[in-house]
Amino acid sequence: MASGAAVAAGAAGNFLLSGCQPKEDKPAVDEKPRKPLPAEPEVTASKFNVCNVCSANCAMICDIVDGKVWRIRGNPDDQVARGRLCVKGYSSYKMLYDPDRIKFPMKRTNPEKGPGVDPGWVKISWEEAFELTGQKFNEAKEKYGPESIVFFTRPHDFAVRLAKAIGTPNLVRHLDTCYTTHEATWRAAVTGTGRPWMLDIYNAKYILSFGWDQPAKGKNMSAQGYIHALNNGARAVVFNPVLTATAALANEWIPIKPGTDLAVCLAMIRLIINEELYDKDFVEKYTTGLEELKAAVQEYTPQWAEKISEVPAATIERVAREFATTKPAIVPNHKRDAGGPLYFNGWRTSYAFIILNALVGSIDREGGVVFQRRSKLKPFDEVFPPLEFPAARKETIMGKEKFPIIGPTGKLGFVTVSEAILNEKPYPVKAMFVRKQNVLAVPDAPRFVEALKKLDFVAVADILPTEIVQMADVVFPEPHFLETSGMTDRVYFAFYPQIALKDPVGDPLYDTKGYGSIIIGIAKAMGLGQHFEGVSGTKLADEQLKALGSSMDELKASPNGLWSDQKPFKPREEFGTPSKKIELYSTVLKEHGYDPVPTWQPKRELPSDTYPLYLIVTRHAAHRMSESQNNELVMQVAPENFATLNKATAQQLGIKDGDEVMVESRVNRITLKARLIEGIRPDCVCVEHGFGHWSKDLTLAFGVGGNEGDLVPGFSVEELVAAKDPSASGYMSDVCVKVYKA
Ligand X SMILES: Nc1nc2c(c(=O)[nH]1)N[C@H]1C(S)=C(S)[C@@H](COP(=O)(O)OP(=O)(O)OC[C@H]3O[C@@H](n4cnc5c(=O)[nH]c(N)nc54)[C@H](O)[C@@H]3O)O[C@H]1N2
Alpha helices in 406-557 (DSSP H): 417-422, 445-454, 467-470, 515-525, 537-547, 552-557
DSSP string, 314-377: HHHHHHHHHHHHSSSEE----SSSTTSTTSTTHHHHHHHHHHHHHHTT-BSSTTSEE------P
- Nearer to ligand X by Cβ, of 79 and 437: the residue is 437
How many positions of this chain bind Mo ion (CB under 5 A)? 1
Q: Which of helix, strand or coil describes residue 479?
A: coil
Does residue 85 belong to the site contacting ligand SF4 (CB under 6 A)? yes
Question: How far is Cα 442 from Cα 675, in angstroms, rounded to an integer?
Answer: 25
Least spacing, CB of residue 11 vs ligand SF4, in Å: 36
Q: Pick from 19, 89, 134, 443: which binds ligand SF4 (CB under 6 A)?
A: 89
By beta carbon distance, the residue nearest Mo ion is 178
Does residue 617 belong to the site contacting ligand X (CB under 6 A)? yes
Quickly count: other Cβ atoms within 10 Å of residue 46's Cβ.
14
Question: How far is Cα 373 from Cα 375, in angstroms, rounded to an integer?
Answer: 7
Does residue 481 belong to the site contacting ligand X (CB under 6 A)? yes
Least spacing, CB of residue 438 vs ligand X, in Å: 3
E-strand stretches of 249-290: 252-254, 287-288
Q: Which does 220 bind (CB under 5 to 8 A by kind): Mo ion, ligand X, ligand SF4, none?
A: ligand SF4
Does residue 247 belong to the site contacting ligand SF4 (CB under 6 A)? no
E-strand stretches of 171-230: 171-172, 198-199, 206-210
Does residue 415 belong to the site contacting Mo ion (CB under 5 A)? no
- Nearer to ligand SF4 by Cβ, of 88 and 348: the residue is 88
Does residue 623 belong to the site contacting ligand X (CB under 6 A)? yes
Does residue 435 belong to the site contacting ligand X (CB under 6 A)? yes
**Radius of gyration over every alpha carbon of the chain, rounded to an integer in angstroms:** 25
Least spacing, CB of residue 88 vs ligand SF4, in Å: 4
Q: Which stretch binds ligand X (CB under 6 A): 27-35, 162-170, 616-624, 662-670?
A: 616-624
- Nearer to ligand SF4 by Cβ, of 174 and 219: the residue is 219
Q: Strands 613-618 and 669-677: what pairing?
A: unpaired
Question: How far is Cα 337 from Cα 350, in angstroms, rounded to an integer?
Answer: 9
Phi, psi of 122 (to 5 degrees): -130, 135
C-alpha dist (Å) from residue 371 to 190, 196, 573:
11, 5, 12
- Nearer to Mo ion by Cβ, of 178 and 653: the residue is 178
Least spacing, CB of residue 335 vs ligand SF4, in Å: 12
Q: What does the per-residue mask of binding to ligand SF4 show for 17-56, with x meaning CB under 6 A?
A: ----------------------------------x-xx-x
Q: Which does 53 bind (CB under 5 to 8 A by kind): Mo ion, ligand X, ligand SF4, none?
A: ligand SF4
Q: Pick from 7, 86, 96, 472: which binds ligand SF4 (CB under 6 A)?
A: 86
Least spacing, CB of residue 619 vs Mo ion, in Å: 9
Q: Which does 481 bind (CB under 5 to 8 A by kind): ligand SF4, ligand X, Mo ion, none?
A: ligand X
Within 8 A by CB and 6+ apart from 408, the residues are 400
Tell me whether the omega of the peptide bond preceding residue 76 falls within 30 degrees of 0, making it cis: no
Nearest to 413 by CA among 437, 394, 429, 396: 396
How many positions of this chain bind ligand X (CB under 6 A)? 56
How many positions of this chain bind ligand SF4 (CB under 6 A)? 12
- Nearer to ligand SF4 by Cβ, of 85 and 663: the residue is 85
- Nearer to ligand X by Cβ, of 588 and 615: the residue is 615
Does residue 219 belong to the site contacting ligand SF4 (CB under 6 A)? yes
Within 8 A by CB and 6+ apart from 299, the residues are none
Question: How far is Cα 70 from Cα 88, in angstroms, rounded to an integer?
Answer: 15
Does residue 437 belong to the site contacting ligand X (CB under 6 A)? yes
- The DSSP element (H or E) to which 47 belongs, if any, is strand 45-50
CB 613 within 8 A of CB 684: yes
CB 337 within 8 A of CB 209: yes
Question: How far is Cα 5 from Cα 609, in angstroms, rounded to an integer?
Answer: 5
By beta carbon distance, the residue nearest ligand SF4 is 89
Question: How far is Cα 612 from Cα 480, in angstroms, rounded to an integer?
Answer: 43
Q: Which does 412 bind (CB under 5 to 8 A by kind): ligand X, ligand SF4, Mo ion, none?
A: none
Quickly count: other Cβ atoms within 10 Å of residue 284's Cβ.
10
Least spacing, CB of residue 343 vs ligand X, in Å: 6
Does residue 244 belong to the site contacting ligand X (CB under 6 A)? yes
What is the DSSP secondary structure assignment for residue 667, as one 8-state letter?
S
- Nearer to ligand SF4 by Cβ, of 85 and 296: the residue is 85
Q: Pick from 49, 91, 92, 177: which binds ligand X (CB under 6 A)?
A: 177
Does residue 224 belong to the site contacting ligand SF4 (CB under 6 A)? no
Residues binding ligand SF4 (CB under 6 A): 51, 53-54, 56-58, 85-86, 88-89, 219-220
Residues binding Mo ion (CB under 5 A): 178
Residues binding ligand X (CB under 6 A): 54, 88, 174, 177-178, 210-211, 213-214, 217-219, 239-242, 244, 256, 258-259, 261, 334-338, 340, 342, 435-438, 440-441, 461-464, 466, 468, 478, 481, 616-619, 621, 623-627, 689, 708-709, 732
